[in-house]
Amino acid sequence: MVGSVGSIAATMMLVSSSSLDDSDPELIRRVAGKDRRAFETLYQRYAGRLHRYLFRLIAQPDVVEEVLDDVMLVVWESAARFNHTSRVSTWIFGIAHFKALKARARLSGRAGEQPVSEDQAGEGEGPEDATLRGELGRVVAQGLKALSPEQRAVVELTFYQGRSYQEIAEITRCPVNTVKTRMFHARRRLAPLLAALGFGPRVASGESRE
Amino acid sequence: MTTTETHHQEIWQLLPWYVNGTLEGRELDAAKAHLATCEACRDEAARCRDLAAAVQSAPAPAWTPSPAHLARLLARIDAIESPGGRAGGWREWLQSCAAALRESLWSTPPAMRWALAAQGALVVVLAATAIWQAAALYGPGYRTLAGSSEQIAAKRPEVRIVFAEDITEREMRALLDRVKGSIVSGPSTADVYTVRLAADGSAPALDVLRADHKVRLAEPVQSQ
């Protein structure tokens, strides 16, 4: 599978240079007209990000791919109903959020969440950071699991997906104040973990002001 | 004092989005101004940055979209889009027609209702007759008959194939010759080819394809 990544990247480059307008809204318009190539481009663009988000919420690798399929099928089937008032990515993540919570509800009877093994943790960065960050990441990953899925969603959407709180409200279909409250609780629960690892204000006090 | 405290609380709540750079306009200005004077919020902003770094480095399975995964997804889309792929398609259509008819009837003066209803009934009868005639004309291939899609697929089976990257054009041709297949479409953006096989014996052809080490994936189209 690893070998195919290169060829995907190569074909993606080919596609982006050959089709002039492959902006998200344009792709959705074409998908609404049952254009499979547009759908494939959209898939290449979103599958990785969606997979990560779904994994954060569902935490069971074997289920994540299945749910990702469901999300993309909804995109295929309801692209015509997308009203173009919000960003395409917000719409797609909203579908993913909904599907993930549904999957969680369905799975709640099943055995506990599988821990992620270390060799599954693949983040491309320098070896000198990797140890420290790896340690921090693992601890925070455990901390994240202790949060409610809704709190985890807000943390992930803010700090990994870089969303504004308004967008998060749209994705998770709740008022902006709820987003802020969920983040408030998540910060409260995660702060001691960071402090225990020597992170927090003590380390960061030398940082310059903006 | 209370208003300052409220203001401090408001900014404190916004800090994660100050840190991720999505705060805008008046809120961004307010956050900057407040951070310049409030050490507690500066500390908290630093903590948010650490949290962001931690979340970004938290382990997740290394996963990249693969042609095989996309091919499976496209096979599911084929199943949806194929004739009769969605169970109850016709029933839904008829129900929506009936609902539309009901709606237009109730918004019409009573005197006209019966006339319209009679006319509507006639239209439905005519349409149904036309459909059955067409079904008879076009034979089992026509979409109204359950199971017709399987019959089509059995006649001209199609397969989605992802070849190995190092397959040569000659190898590809030789392989397609062996399974009596011809390329219908492809390569797609994810290197997926759709190949139509000979009218008979798709099962052995599939085995041949799957056994070939230059084939990464071979999935029949329109089957679950």
ipTM metric: 0.73
Going by C-alpha positions, the residue among B45, B58, B49, B63 that lies closest to residue A145 is B58
**B68: chain A residues, CB-CB within 8 Å:** 1
Distance (Å, rounded) from C-alpha B57 to C-alpha B60? 9
Residue A125 scores a pLDDT above 80: no
Q: Which residues make beta-bridge pairs with B220? A: B159
Test B188 with A36 for CB contact under 8 angstroms.
Answer: yes
Spell out a b/e string for B112-132, using b for 16 or more CB atoms within 10 Å of the CB, else e. eeeeeeeebeeeeeeeeeeee
Using only C-alpha atoms, chain A has a radius of gyration, in whole angstroms, of 19
Q: How confident is the model at residue B178 (pLDDT cuts 50, 70, 90)?
A: confident
Q: In the structure, what pLDDT confidence band is assigned to residue A118 with cuts at 50, 70 and 90?
A: very low
Q: What distance in Å separates the CA atoms of residue A138 and residue B83, rounded to the nearest whole number?
A: 49
Average pLDDT over residues A131-155: 80
The pLDDT assigned to A18 comes to 46
Q: What residue type is B8 in one-letter code?
A: H
Residue B65 to residue A76, Cβ atoms within 8 A: no
Residue B144 has which token pair?
A: 């109204």
d(CA A155, CA B206): 46
Query: Which residue in A16, A58, A187 has the most chain B C-beta atoms within 10 A of its own C-beta, making it the best mutation to test that interface?
Result: A187
Lowest mean pLDDT among B41-45, B91-95, B183-187: B91-95
Most confident of A18-22, A127-131, A147-151, A165-169: A165-169
- Work out the pLDDT band at B144, boundaries 50, 70, 90: very low
Report DSSP letters for B165-222, one per residue: TT--HHHHHHHHHHTT-EEEE---TT-EEEEEPPSS-HHHHHHHHHH-TTEEEEEETT
> Helix or strand or coil: residue B60?
coil
DSSP A175: -
Question: Confidence class of residue A62 from pLDDT cuts 50, 70 and 90?
Answer: confident
Give per-residue pLDDT as tens, B207-219. Answer: 888 888 888 888 8
Across the range B82-92, mean pLDDT stands at: 56
Average pLDDT of span B147-164: 64
Average pLDDT of the residues in B126-149? 53
**Would you place residue A109 in the very low, low, confident or very high pLDDT band (cuts 50, 70, 90)?**
low
Please tell me the predicted confidence (pLDDT) of residue B136.
54
Higher-confidence residue: B80 or A6?
B80
Instruction: Please state the separation of Cα A197 from the chain's center in Å.
Output: 25
Amino acid at A104: R
Question: Is pLDDT above 70 for B93?
Answer: no
Q: What are phi and psi of A47, to 5 degrees?
A: -55, -45
Alpha carbon distance A86, A144 (integer Å): 28
**Contact by Cβ (8 Å): A11, B165:** no
Mean pLDDT computed over every residue of chain B: 75
How far apart are the CA of B57 and the nearest CA of chain A, in angstroms?
5
Tell me how far apart the alpha carbons of residues B141 and B126 are, in angstroms, rounded to a whole number.
Answer: 22
Residues 57-116 of A with CB under 8 A from B: 61, 64-65, 69, 72-73, 76-77, 116
Q: Which residue has the higher pLDDT, A50 or B69?
A: A50
* A72 and B72 Cβ atoms separated by less than 8 Å: no
User: Using CA atoms, how far apart are residues B65 and B79, in angstroms rounded to an integer?
Assistant: 21
> What is the residue whose two structure tokens read 């006649």?
B155
Q: Which DSSP category does A157 fall into?
A: H
The confidence score (pLDDT) of residue B152 equals 47
Helix, strand, or coil (residue B82): coil
The answer to whether residue A99 scores a pLDDT higher than 90 is yes
The pTM (predicted TM-score) of the whole model is: 0.60
**Pair of tokens at residue A126:** 């320098």
Read off the tokens for B25: 């306009």
pLDDT (tens digit per residue) in B31-45? 999 999 999 999 999
Of B21, B68, B165, the CB nearest to A7: B165
Q: Which residue of B has its CA nearest to A142?
A: B58
Please answer whether residues A159 and B52 qualify as being in contact, where contact means their C-beta atoms are separated by less than 8 angstroms: yes
Inter-residue contact B206 to A28 (CB < 8 Å): no
Confidence band of A111 (pLDDT split at 50, 70, 90): very low
Q: Most distant CA pair in chain A: distance in Å?
A: 56
**pLDDT given for residue A209 in this prediction:** 41
Q: How far apart are CA A110 and CA A9, in angstroms?
A: 37
Give the number of other Cβ atoms within 10 Å of residue A133's Cβ. Answer: 19
Mean of pLDDT values over A30-53 = 92
**pLDDT surpassing 70 at residue A192:** yes
Q: What is the mean pLDDT of residues A29-45?
A: 92
Q: In this model, does residue B203 exceed pLDDT 80?
A: no
C-beta atoms surrounding A122 within 10 Å: 12
